């Protein structure tokens, strides 16, 4: 089986050949360069923070009175720092996206937008008003406040391990000075030699994994703050997906109505004409003739087929829903259910067509499910407009216990409602009753 290459240290550490691969060296190079980059960024940001630092030192000095101009030093210094800091953090973001390839082979695209028009002012306006710039500013803070202390702790750990490693040499040259490990003291080189060998083995085996964990965490934070996923572009794409989903829903509804219209005006009318011709043929054929039974049977089958086609058309999109809305369609739907259903509709203004259609088919599916599974004796359907949303409730006195994913069609209801950015809640304790509540936004 072909071994799939690892993309980051966290994946490589799960493999037995991690210690002999290039990943420990890549992680070490990333840590060393992180220390260098963080130091440079810290110096540059410290230089930008000089005005604010001086202002703070002046304002907190209790031994002198403040002049009228000195009171403005602090806000001016902070404003200058905030305005000038992106001049450091924007190049830092570009550098870090390149340096991230040391420990993550997946490409990271910049979240910065391209200005609509060329020029310095459009570029500045775009950079200072987009989220990507301030994410990079936050990343600089993470480097200074998080990564720098972690690398410092790692350096202290390596320094202490180095002391233990070279403790035999120290004891050999200073045989009258003991070497303390905190919990024990070493007085002879031979006594310190096992500790030295053990620490070397620990560094060789555990050090690469420690570096891998550190760089994996750093890479994760860098991808979140510096990648395209953390910017306004993702929100733009999400908006485009939402718009395209709405267009697909509208197109599906238009196609559903076209199919219903073609069946109603085409196949159904032809079938009605055929049924009438067969009925007239029954009158013309003598009852005792051999063809009478065949014509009668064909007539009955044509009537059954016509009834099934009407049910199919009604299931695709009932004409009453298009003509008169939910107020008329829901009572007609309830009349076809094989148990008493009380319907209450309080809709002063008709919702959009796609909302009405979704609500209708949600009620139809819910009533079908309760007839099949709930063993209910009565049911109730309510529909009303509240706070810009169409609220539909289906209640029954059945045995309850309905759960999505158990073949009751509830998952399909949830999917249908979510497409319309709606919500669906279900209350169905064991023993009943069951209540399905659906809220569908009704944009003006």
pLDDT by residue, tens only, the chain of 444 residues? 344 556 778 888 888 888 888 889 999 999 999 999 999 998 888 887 776 666 556 555 554 555 555 556 666 667 777 778 888 888 898 899 999 988 888 878 887 878 878 888 888 888 888 888 888 988 998 999 998 899 889 888 888 888 888 877 776 666 666 666 666 677 677 777 888 888 888 888 888 898 889 999 998 888 888 876 544 555 666 666 656 666 666 665 666 666 666 666 667 677 777 778 777 777 777 767 777 777 777 777 777 777 766 666 665 667 777 778 888 888 888 888 888 889 888 887 888 877 888 888 888 888 888 888 778 888 899 998 888 888 999 898 888 877 766 655 677 777 778 777 788 888 888 887 888 888 888 876
The answer to whether residue 146 is domain-embedded is yes
The answer to whether residue 219 is domain-embedded is yes
CA distance 196 to 198: 5
pLDDT confidence of residue 37: 92
Alpha carbon of residue 374 to chain centroid: 35
Query: Are 19 and 9 spatial neighbours (Cβ–Cβ below 8 Å)?
Result: no
The residue written with tokens 């298009």 in the block is: 322
Phi/psi at 222 (5° precision): -65, -40
Last residue of a domain, one of 180, 213, 230: 230
pLDDT confidence of residue 360: 85
In this structure, are 44 and 99 located in the same domain? yes
In this structure, are 46 and 158 located in the same domain? yes
In this structure, are 297 and 333 located in the same domain? no
Report the predicted TM-score, pTM, of the whole model to 2 decimal places.
0.51
- HEC profile for 382-406? EEEEECCEEEEEEEECCCCCCCCCC
pLDDT confidence of residue 2: 41
pLDDT confidence of residue 81: 75
The answer to whether residue 408 is domain-embedded is yes
In this structure, are 240 and 224 located in the same domain? no
Rounded to a whole number, what is the distance in angstroms from the first to the last CA of the chain?
A: 58
User: Whole domain around residue 379: which residue ranges?
Assistant: 323-441
Last residue of a domain, one of 195, 230, 265: 230
Domain CATH for 377? 3.30.565.10
In this structure, are 327 and 310 located in the same domain? no
Q: Kindly report the CA angle at 107 between 117 and 125, in degrees rounded to 5?
A: 25
Longest dimension (CA), the chain: 133
Q: What are 197's two structure tokens?
A: 């060998």
pLDDT confidence of residue 243: 62
pLDDT confidence of residue 132: 85
In this structure, are 208 and 353 located in the same domain? no
Last residue of a domain, one of 230, 246, 265: 230
Instruction: Provide the β-strand partners of residue 341.
Output: 379
pLDDT confidence of residue 1: 36
CA distance 381 to 138: 52
CA distance 207 to 200: 10
In this structure, are 251 and 206 located in the same domain? no
Please state the domain count of the chain: 3
pLDDT confidence of residue 231: 46
Instruction: Provide the β-strand partners of residue 437.
Output: 393, 425
């Amino acid at each position: 089986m072909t071994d799939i290459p690892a993309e980051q240290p966290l994946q490589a550490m799960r493999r037995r050949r991690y210690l002999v691969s290039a990943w420990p060296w890549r992680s070490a190079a990333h840590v060393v360069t992180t220390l260098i980059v963080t130091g440079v960024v810290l110096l540059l940001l410290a230089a930008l923070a000089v005005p604010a630092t001086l202002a703070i030192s002046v304002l907190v000095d209790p031994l002198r009175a403040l002049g009228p101009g000195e009171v403005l030093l602090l806000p001016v210094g902070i404003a200058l720092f905030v305005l000038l800091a992106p001049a450091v953090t924007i190049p830092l973001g570009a550098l870090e996206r390149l340096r991230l390839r040391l420990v993550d082979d997946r490409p990271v695209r910049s979240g910065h937008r391209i200005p609509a028009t060329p020029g310095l002012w459009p570029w500045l306006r775009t950079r200072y008003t987009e989220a990507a710039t301030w994410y990079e500013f936050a990343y600089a803070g993470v480097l200074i406040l998080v990564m720098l202390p972690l690398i410092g702790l790692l350096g202290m750990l390596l320094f202490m391990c180095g002391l233990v490693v070279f403790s035999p040499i120290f004891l050999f040259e200073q045989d009258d000075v003991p070497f303390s490990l905190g919990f024990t003291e070493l007085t002879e080189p031979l006594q310190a030699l096992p500790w030295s060998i053990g620490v070397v083995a620990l560094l060789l085996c555990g050090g690469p994994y420690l570096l891998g964990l550190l760089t994996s965490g750093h890479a994760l934070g860098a991808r979140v703050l510096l990648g395209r996923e953390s910017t306004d572009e993702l929100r733009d794409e999400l908006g485009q997906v939402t718009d395209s989903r709405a267009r697909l829903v509208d197109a599906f509804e238009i196609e559903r109505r076209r199919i219903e219209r073609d069946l109603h005006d085409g196949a159904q009318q032809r079938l009605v004409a055929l049924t009438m011709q067969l009925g007239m043929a029954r009158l013309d054929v003598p009852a005792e003739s051999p063809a009478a039974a065949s014509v009668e049977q064909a007539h009955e089958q044509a009537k059954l087929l016509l009834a099934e086609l009407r049910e199919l058309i009604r299931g695709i999109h009932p004409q009453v829903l298009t003509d008169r809305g939910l107020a008329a369609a829901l009572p007609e739907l309830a009349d076809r259910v094989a148990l008493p259903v009380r319907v209450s509709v309080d809709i002063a203004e008709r919702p959009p067509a796609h909302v009405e259609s979704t609500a209708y088919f949600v009620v139809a599916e819910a009533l079908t499910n309760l007839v099949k599974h709930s063993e209910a004796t009565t049911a109730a359907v309510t529909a009303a407009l509240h706070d810009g949303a169409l609220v539909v409730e289906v209640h029954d006195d059945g045995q309850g216990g309905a759960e999505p994913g158990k073949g009751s069609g509830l998952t399909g209801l949830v999917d249908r409602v979510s497409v319309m950015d709606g919500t669906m809640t279900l209350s169905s304790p064991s023993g009943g009753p069951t209540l399905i509540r659906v809220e569908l936004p009704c944009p003006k």
